[in-house]
Chain A
Amino acid sequence: GQNIDQPTEMTATEGAIVQINCTYQTSGFNGLFWYQQHAGEAPTFLSYNVLDGLEEKGRFSSFLSRSKGYSYLLLKELQMKDSASYLCAVTPGEGNYQLIWGAGTKLIIKP
């Protein structure tokens, strides 16, 4: 079957660093996306990983290990506006164009 696991909720302090983990078991793998979704809004693209390693983009970085079926999103210098849900999604590829979505991790930033 297809399964993606993320923690339901995390809390962090403004200015700190937080790591949001995602593990997946899918029939195939052709890339992993991270999206950010503020309450009541549509998801917006953050990152895409298809090769192992760390991709850095400003305050946000995303890591992938295909052998472990594992990814994480690292947020540095947290700001209050980072309070949102973070969605992990896998594209199985091999002719399957449906993204498999995790339930999302709600990140709460406290002053």
Chain B
Amino acid sequence: GAGVSQSPSNKVTEKGKDVELRCDPISGHTALYWYRQRLGQGLEFLIYFQGNSAPDKSGLPSDRFSAERTGESVSTLTIQRTQQEDSAVYLCASSPSLASTDTQYFGPGTRLTVL
């Protein structure tokens, strides 16, 4: 079936504006993760969802960041009052469950540029 998809692929916004990023996981995958990757750096965990359980929000860098997911479907990551340091690629990944052995499958990412 289809892989993880994300939209938009690129987003340019002005400082102070809100942005919403979307992730469509692989059908049947109960776990969904959001990461941030700054240029030339590793992946920074933001949040994960597992089914209908409470999400782990411990990686969200500030209260300007929030994410939602309804059931096992689409997730949205919202960044309010964007700052230049928010510029990065935002990657979404899904896996069949949270089991340690489960591979995470990544989407192509959304490249966010805050001017």
Seen from chain A, the residues whose Cβ lies within 8 Å of a Cβ on chain B are: 30-31, 33, 41-45, 48, 50, 87, 89, 91, 93, 97-99, 101-104
Contact = CB atoms under 8 A, between A and B. Distances in A.
Contact of B109 (A30, A42, A44, A93): A42
Interface residues of B, number: 22
30 contacts: A30-B100, A31-B100, A41-B108, A42-B107, A42-B108, A42-B109, A43-B43, A43-B91, A43-B106, A44-B106, A45-B103, A48-B101, A48-B103, A50-B100, A50-B101, A89-B43, A91-B100, A97-B31, A97-B48, A97-B56, A97-B98, A98-B56, A98-B59, A99-B45, A99-B104, A101-B42, A101-B43, A101-B44, A102-B42, A103-B41
Contacts of B59: 98
Interface string B38-64: 000111110010100000101100000
Interface of B is mostly: loop
Contacts, number: 48
Contacts of A48: 101, 103
A97 B91 contact: no
A13 B50 CA distance: 43
B114 to A, nearest CB: 19
Question: Which 5 residue pairs spanning A and B have beta carbons closest together?
Answer: A42-B106, A103-B42, A30-B100, A101-B43, A97-B98
